[in-house]
C-alpha cells in the first residue's frame, strides 16, 4: 500500500473536477507540492491557482512542470473521465509513475478513519454537507470531502486533523464507491444512471448491494425507504428514512412560513421537535431527515442538530438562490437527472405558487440523453417555458441521432425552444421572466454571473 509520507509532489489530471479539487486542496494543506491539468478554466480552477496550486489548460507533456517529471516522490491522480488518448496521462503511464484513480486516493485517506459515506444517484452532496455541518458543531468534529462548494465552509474540503471522523461522498460512477469501507453509510437513491458503465439498472443495483456489504459490522446504514437492496446479508444496523412515509426516520408536522420550513422528525426513540430549515426546497426536508438519522445514531445532541440545521446555507449550485427581487427570482441548480429535475421543479412550484417558471436546461452526456430522453421530457414538462441548450459532452464523443431535440420533441408544453449557448444571453434579454432556473452538470454555471447582470442592469 502506498504511503503518502513518501510523496512530495502530487499531479492531478482533471484538477478542476469537484472531487479532484478537494483532493488537490487536501494534499496542498499537507504541504505537498501540487499541480495539474484541466481542460477549461473555471471559477474553481481560478480559486485553486489563488491557493498556490499550479494548473494549466493545454494537454501536452511539455506543459508538465519539471518538478512533476521526477519519478521518485511523485504521485499522479487521475479521473476515469480522462480519455485514453490523453497525452499527459500516457506520458506518466509510459514512464511508470505511481498513478491512482481519484477514488483510490479517497479510499486510502479514509481507510484509517471512521468514515460516513453518502451514496446515491442524486442527493448525496447536500446530505454529506448537512452531516458535516452538524458534526462540525460537536466536540468530535470531522473532516469532509464534498461534491459541491459548501456555503457554510466556503469550500469542498473540510480539514480537522484531530478528528477521527471523515464524511465523504461515495460516487457510483465507475464503481468508485467500492474503494470505501465506511463505518456508516447513506443511500439516497438508485435511479437509472451511468448506464454507459453498468449496462443496465440491475447491474447498478448489484453494485450498490456490494457497496453496503463493506460497511463496518459495528456501524450502520441509513437508506431511503423502498430502495431495492437486499439487506439480508448485512451485519450492521439498518435504518430507513423518508420525507413523509412511515420509516424509522421521517418528517411530520411540516409547514412553510416565509420561505422557512419547520418540521418534527420521528426517530426510533422518540420525536425531535421544531427543526427549522432555511434552505429552500421540499427535497431538502428529506435530505435533512437523512442527515439527522446519521447524527442521531452518532449520539449528537438534539440541540446541536437543531442549531446546525437552522444555520445551514446549502451548497453552490444546489437550489442556489442567485437573485431575488420584487419582480424576479433566479435560482441555479446542479440537477442533471430526471428525478432531480422533477424534485427541483416541484419545490419551485410550492415555493412560488402562481408564478410562471422558465427553465434553462443543459443536458449532460450523450449516453444519458439517449437512455433517459423520455424521462427528461416528462420532468421538464413541469415548466411553463423551456430553453434547452445543446448537450454538454464531457468525456463522450457524439452519438449518432442523439441531440437536444431527442428531449425537446417529447416535452408537452407550448413554450419550448432549443438555443445555442452563444445565443442564450440575447434570447433572455428579449424575455420577461418571473421565476428563472438554470439546471445542468456541464458548463452552464459560466452563465450564472452574465444572467444575473442582465437582470441587475434591467432593474
Count the Cβ atoms, other than its own, within 10 Å of residue 270: 9
Q: Rg (Cα) of the chain, in Å, rounded?
A: 22
For helices 102-110 and 18-29, what crossing angle results, to 10°? 50
Closest to 129 measured CA to CA, from 186, 195, 183: 186
Burial class (CB in 10 A: 0-12, 13-18, 19+), 70: exposed
Catalytic residue among 33, 114, 124, 224: 124
- Tell me the H-state helices in 213-312: 282-297, 302-310
- Clarify whether 125 is annotated catalytic: yes
Count the Cβ atoms, other than its own, within 10 Å of residue 138: 18
> Is 241 in contact with 225 (CB distance < 8 Å)?
yes
> Is 387 in contact with 433 (CB distance < 8 Å)?
no
How far is residue 309's CA from residue 293's CA, in Å, rounded to a whole number? 13
Closest to 34 measured CA to CA, from 80, 69, 78, 68: 68
| Backbone torsion region of residue 456, taken as left when φ is above 0, otherwise alpha when ψ lies between -120 and 50, otherwise beta | alpha
- Clarify whether 237 is annotated catalytic: no
DSSP 403: S
DSSP assignments along 43-59, one per residue: HHHHHHHHTT-EEE-S-
Catalytic residue among 169, 172, 286, 340: 169
Count the Cβ atoms, other than its own, within 10 Å of residue 107: 19
Contacts of 400 (CB under 8 A, 6+ apart): none
How far is residue 65's CA from residue 294's CA, in Å, rounded to a whole number? 44
Catalytic residue among 125, 129, 240, 267: 125
Q: Which residue is associated with the grid cell 420525536?
A: 271
Q: Which residue is associated with the grid cell 454529506?
A: 128
Rounded to 5 degrees, what are φ and ψ at 259? 70, 10
Residue 319 has which C-alpha cell?
437550489
Closest to 444 measured CA to CA, from 336, 314, 346: 336
DSSP 80: T
Q: Which residue is associated with the grid cell 444555520?
A: 311
Closest to 102 measured CA to CA, from 238, 11, 8: 11
Q: Which residues are catalytic?
A: 124-125, 169
Amino acid at each position: 500500500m502506498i504511503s503518502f509520507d513518501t510523496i512530495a509532489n502530487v499531479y492531478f489530471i482533471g484538477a478542476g473536477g469537484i472531487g479532484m479539487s478537494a483532493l488537490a486542496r487536501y494534499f496542498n494543506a499537507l504541504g505537498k507540492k501540487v499541480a495539474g491539468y484541466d481542460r477549461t478554466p473555471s471559477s474553481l480552477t481560478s480559486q485553486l491557482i489563488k491557493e498556490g496550486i499550479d494548473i494549466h489548460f493545454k494537454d501536452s507533456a511539455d506543459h508538465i512542470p519539471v518538478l512533476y517529471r521526477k519519478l521518485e516522490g511523485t504521485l499522479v491522480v487521475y479521473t476515469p473521465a480522462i480519455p485514453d488518448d490523453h497525452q499527459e496521462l500516457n506520458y506518466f503511464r509510459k514512464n511508470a509513475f505511481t498513478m491512482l484513480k481519484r477514488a483510490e486516493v479517497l479510499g486510502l485517506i479514509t481507510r484509517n478513519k471512521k468514515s460516513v459515506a453518502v451514496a446515491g444517484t442524486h442527493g448525496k452532496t447536500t446530505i454529506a454537507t448537512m452531516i458535516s455541518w452538524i458534526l462540525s458543531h460537536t466536540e468530535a468534529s470531522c473532516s469532509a470531502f464534498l461534491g459541491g462548494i459548501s456555503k457554510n465552509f466556503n469550500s469542498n474540503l473540510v480539514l480537522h486533523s484531530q478528528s477521527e471522523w471523515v464524511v465523504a461522498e461515495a460516487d457510483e460512477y465507475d464503481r468508485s464507491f467500492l474503494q470505501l469501507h465506511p463505518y456508516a453509510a447513506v443511500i439516497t437513491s438508485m435511479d437509472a444512471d451511468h448506464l454507459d458503465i453498468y449496462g443496465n439498472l440491475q447491474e447498478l443495483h448489484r453494485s450498490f448491494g456490494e457497496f453496503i456489504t463493506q460497511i463496518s459490522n459495528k456501524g450502520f446504514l441509513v437508506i431511503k425507504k423502498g430502495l431495492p437492496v437486499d439487506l439480508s446479508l448485512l451485519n450492521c444496523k439498518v435504518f430507513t428514512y423518508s420525507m413523509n412515509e412511515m420509516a424509522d426516520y421521517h418528517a411530520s408536522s411540516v409547514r412553510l412560513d416565509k420561505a422557512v420550513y419547520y418540521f418534527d422528525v420521528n426517530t426510533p426513540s422518540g420525536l425531535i421537535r421544531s427543526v427549522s430549515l432555511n434552505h429552500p426546497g421540499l427535497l431538502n426536508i428529506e435530505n435533512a431527515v437523512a442527515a439527522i438519522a446519521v447524527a442521531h445514531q452518532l449520539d449528537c445532541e438534539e440541540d446541536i442538530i437543531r442549531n446546525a440545521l437552522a444555520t445551514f446555507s446549502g451548497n453552490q449550485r444546489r437550489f442556489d438562490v442567485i437573485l431575488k427581487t420584487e419582480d424576479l427570482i433566479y435560482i441555479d441548480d446542479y440537477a442533471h437527472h430526471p428525478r432531480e429535475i422533477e424534485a427541483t421543479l416541484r419545490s419551485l412550484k410550492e415555493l412560488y405558487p402562481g408564478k410562471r417558471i422558465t427553465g434553462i436546461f443543459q443536458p449532460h452526456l450523450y449516453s444519458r440523453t439517449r437512455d433517459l430522453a423520455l424521462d427528461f421530457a416528462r420532468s421538464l414538462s413541469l415548466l411553463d417555458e423551456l430553453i434547452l441548450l445543446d448537450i454538454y459532452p464531457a468525456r463522450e464523443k457524439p452519438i449518432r441521432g442523439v441531440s437536444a431535440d431527442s428531449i425537446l420533441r417529447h416535452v408537452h408544453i407550448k413554450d419550448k425552444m432549443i438555443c445555442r449557448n452563444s445565443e442564450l444571453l440575447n434570447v433572455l434579454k428579449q424575455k420577461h421572466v418571473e421565476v428563472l432556473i438554470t439546471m445542468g452538470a456541464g458548463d452552464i454555471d459560466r452563465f450564472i454571473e452574465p444572467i444575473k447582470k442582465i437582470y441587475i442592469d434591467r432593474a
